[in-house]
Amino acid sequence: KGKLNITKLDAGVYGGKLSGHAQINKVKNGFDISLANTITGIDLKRLFSNLFNVNAIIGSADLLINTHAESVNNYQDLHKKMN
């Protein structure tokens, strides 16, 4: 078993600032992943344009992201197992 704790996560994202922490635990059938993050001042036009090719949304937003996924083995599992 192994565990990775990222206790101080800071990054720039779409003109805003992401901060928080993450934890990844090795378990029998994959990895348990937990995230607790805040994003402040994100530029919605840049975000939606880049991710969805949508230019009609403008403004800025603050986001709070707390999520957990259990027994993740691959990237597709993240979409299926996020809570």
pLDDT at position 18 over 90: yes
pLDDT tens digits along 38-69: 999 999 999 999 999 999 999 999 999 999 99
pLDDT at 22: 95
pTM of the model: 0.72
pLDDT at 64: 96
Phi, then psi, of 28 in degrees rounded to 5: -55, -50
* C-beta separation of 31 from 23 below 8 A: no
Q: What ranges make up the beta strands (E) of the chain?
A: 3-13, 16-27, 30-43, 60-72
pLDDT at position 77 over 90: no
- Here the tokens at position 21 are 């922490």
pLDDT at 82: 74
